[in-house]
A and B are shown apart, each in its own frame.
Chain A
Amino acid sequence: MAPWPCRAPVIGAAALAMALAACAAGAQSLDQDKVKALHAAAKKEGQVIIWGTQRREVEWIPAAFGKLFSGIDVQFLGDNDIAVKAIAEARAGRHQVDVYQNSLTGTLPLVQRDLLANIDWSLFGIDSRNIAFDGKMAYTSNIVYTVAYNNKLAKDADAPKDWIGILDERYKGKGASSTFLLPRLIGALGLAWGDDKALQFARDIVAKTNLLLTRAPRESLLQSGERVYAFGEIDSLIRAVAAEGLPVSQVVPQPVVVGQFGATIMKNAPHPNAARLLAGFLASPEGKAARLEATSQADYGPTSDNEFAKALHSGAMQVVWDRPDNMAAREALFGRAAAILTGQSR
């Protein structure tokens, strides 16, 4: 099964191999004296704590990090509400988390409250194009919003070609979406469409599609046949569950919406050296390769050399990128979309 349809550039085994090759090429980024010195200092601290938005996104880190940097106990927390928790702990004067890994929108509230520290990312050979928030964040991976489908019940050609297409009558009662992801997708679409059209899109979804809006794993609903399509899925998740044997495929409707994730460290990190080392690892080519292997989360940023990233940057397709300067607008819009989708406003 090809994880990507012909409609979008293919990123399958070949792209994975290229990404791993890129890792090999940049394998020396963490093999420098300064990094070794940082490792020695981090070992004295003995521990590092990382928070991410999902267990899947952080539970692979202890093993991968431990392969390169021994002697440091990595603990993690995976939860959608880490922004709220991190801000609450900071307000209470409790400083437990070292590394904070989230999307640009999920990091913005911490930036606004000046809770994050600056890092010299050049120590890890990280390109300046992969750094945001005045040096506080380094990009680690991207997500692409897709439409997933049960490939035993539908074909690639049946899936919508653009996002507005999910309003078509033929998808009525057949779709599911995440309460967490769909508003974010609509927020991003608003950057391309304008607020009014995006919010009307949200209202039409409620009125016309009989969409199963849920926090339950949509892939389970697809696999059971309860729903045929999942609108607004994450490419890496679908690739991962497809690799586990689920009969799911995905397409990338237009415009392509790309989310940006990155690593930061807290200003009051209890293990500052270990925090810098782990954050640097996560943003390094080695860390990106390990993430891709463990979670299927790829880097589509400007320095990535996988095929899909190149296609995204080629200008051949309309792409909505997460950027630090459009995060506030997107966040405001997806908040309104969330209220409409969940029936809290009209």
Chain B
Amino acid sequence: MHKLDNLDLTAKLVLAVVTGAAIYLIAVPLAMLLFAAFRGPADYLPFEPGARWTLEHVQALFTDPVIYTRILPDTFIFVAGTVVVAFAIGFGLAWLVERTDLPAREIWFALILFPLLVPAPVLAIAWIFLMGPNAGWLNLAIRAALGLDGSGPINIFSMGGLILCQALASAPFIFLLLSATLRTMDPALEEASGASGASPLTTFGRVTLPVLLPGLLAPLILITLITAEQFELPLIIGLPAKINVFSYRIYFELNPLSSLPNYGAAAALSLPFVVLGVLLLMLYNRLIRRADSFVTMTGKGYRQRRLPLGAWRIPALALAALYVTLAAVLPAAVLLWTSFFGYALPLSATSADFSLEAYRQLFANRAFWLGLRNTFLVALASALIVTAIGGLLGWIISRSQIRFRHVLDFVSVLSIGIPAVIAGLGVMLLYLSLPIGLYGSVAILIIAYSYRFATTTRLARAGFLQIHKELEEASATSGARWLATLRRVLIPLMLPALSAGFILLFIVGVREFTIPLVLYSQDNVVLSVLLWQLFQSGQPAPSAALASIIVAVVLPVIFVARRTLARRTLAE
């Protein structure tokens, strides 16, 4: 473990900058969150003249019976159900793609990520078209096939329907995060277990699962908190089903459908997220205390071996195909269809209904080109910033003995506890109050997006736990300085984990909706916001065309990124 005194000047400078940037980028939204929770009256900004300290928001939160009788129970069921289903789907798919000889793995990899590419409101609408109880395409097909009358049998407007849809939407998060862990796992341990006579189930329970535990916990923590702050699907699918979750309540305080936002109430409501993050962090730290137990990548070479599926190949393919059909193919078909045929339904449409008008309108729209540029600029820049800072934070936390490393770990994981809507709000409040010209610019979006260190830090930390210290020691013994060791030893080995984090952040940046919705103005509009405007304005064809373009642009990025990274890893 590195002590601060033992590090060279370059290392100290780099780590100081990283630490300062992390604290600034995370502490600002958090400070604004805490500050706003105790400032009032309701429609006052925290810094505004006339604002005062108050407990009214916290009191209102804890004395509201709706919170206890409705919102908390619904939230718990929604989050628990989604996490279980999404984790099962995501883990299963990641294992099939990364550890077995499933055919066409590159294609599955990209298709599985589809729900990550599409802004959630569009997916929700596509699923309503598919699973609406009265006229959903799937329900119509099932009723016709079984000779049933009435509505259903699938009812998307139910807790089960909401959980299913959210799990379909969230499973790619799990898949992407677990892929990196599964890809870098040394199969020698499993082989040794098998050679010792252990059954596959025993090997999985006693070897595979304990080895993967750090890599499993990070996505588990992440998906729990991400699910808890979801509001798009609860809004579109849950609200009509009378399902009322915590995140929607926060959204409601910021968008009360009537008067101005109640920033203080929204901030006060967000405090439980922070508490939840702290509790999960403590649980996580306890579970990974014996870090050395989980080292799976050493200085010794190993070869990748994939489990032959044999007779299970067809069921495995069917499982992957079922997910991809529900989460990607059918929603994409709905989007494409709507972009070309508008309101016309498949059974009644004729060739005369086909039109490219939606695309023509879109390409003639100045906001589209501005949004396209802004979207990629913000997603790329923020993903780079967070990957760089998060990776180094992971090193500080897992490799150094710097005194404040636990504080950094704590601050990093807190970023999960800040819902995007609150993070956007915090940044907005700050830069509305600071006359430095950032409000309304693309730069403010980059800053606002760049607070989610937890993903990269968790991934990096799990990755560092799998890299034995002997590699760094060998490099140092050979005369390499800290920066050289980082560049020539650690980064190449960490590439799968860091690239997974980068891809995830880039995709999240491309589809990010909440933060730009809070912060957008004339000049910094992004595609997701433009899509929402088109959608809400009752222009389904242009919004579907825009969604199709987003998918068409981002899908090749996934292929190229993964192939490039695979080659680089192989070359190293």
Contacts and interface: CB of A to CB of B under 8 A. Distances in A.
B252 A344 contact: yes
Contacts of A208: none
A154 to B, nearest CB: 13
B522 A88 contact: no
Contacts of B121: 216
A87 B533 CA distance: 20
B66 A344 contact: yes
B540 A345 contact: no
B521 interface: yes
Contact of B535 (A206, A212, A217, A224): A217
A220 B132 CA distance: 12
A335 B259 contact: yes
Contact of B536 (A96, A215, A221, A245): A215
Interface stretch (A7-15, A72-80, A161-169): A72-80
B270 to A, nearest CB: 16
A237 B538 contact: yes
Contacts of B256: 335, 338-339
A179 B239 contact: yes
B70 A212 contact: no
B153 to A, nearest CB: 15
A54 interface: yes
Contacts of A180: 257
A217 B440 contact: no
B522 A49 contact: yes
A80 B244 contact: no
B354 to A, nearest CB: 14
Contact of A215 (B66, B128, B236): B236
A55 B239 contact: no
A187 B125 CA distance: 28
B117 to A, nearest CB: 20
A56 interface: yes
Contacts of A56: 537-539
Nearest to B253: A344
A315 interface: no
Interface residues of A, number: 61
A194 B317 CA distance: 61
A224 B129 contact: yes
Interface in A163-185: 173, 176, 179-180, 183
Contacts, number: 139
A200 interface: no
Nearest to B157: A212
Nearest to B135: A225
Nearest to A73: B366
Contacts of B521: 77, 85, 89, 96
Given A223-B343, A237-B538, A343-B244, A214 B239 contact: yes
Nearest to A81: B255
A81 B532 CA distance: 13
Contacts of A343: 66, 70, 239, 242, 244
A246 B252 contact: no
A87 B260 contact: yes
A78 B533 contact: yes
A211 B522 CA distance: 35
Nearest to B240: A212
B540 A217 contact: yes
B258 A84 contact: no
Contact of A245 (B136, B242, B343): B343
Interface string A218-234: 01110111110000000
Nearest to A58: B537
Given A56-B537, A180-B257, A92 B343 contact: no
Interface in A311-346: 331-332, 334-335, 338-339, 342-346
Given A212-B157, A221-B132, A342-B239, 5 more contacts: A89-B521, A187-B258, A213-B239, A217-B538, A343-B70
8 contacts: A56-B538, A88-B432, A180-B257, A244-B343, A339-B252, A342-B257, A344-B66, A344-B252
Interface of A: 49, 54-56, 75, 77-81, 83-85, 87-89, 91-94, 96, 109, 173, 176, 179-180, 183, 187, 206, 211-217, 219-221, 223-227, 237, 240-241, 244-246, 331-332, 334-335, 338-339, 342-346
Interface of B: 45, 48, 66, 70, 121, 124-125, 128-129, 132-136, 151, 157, 235-236, 239-240, 242, 244, 248-249, 252, 255-261, 342-345, 366, 428, 431-433, 435, 439-440, 521-522, 533-540
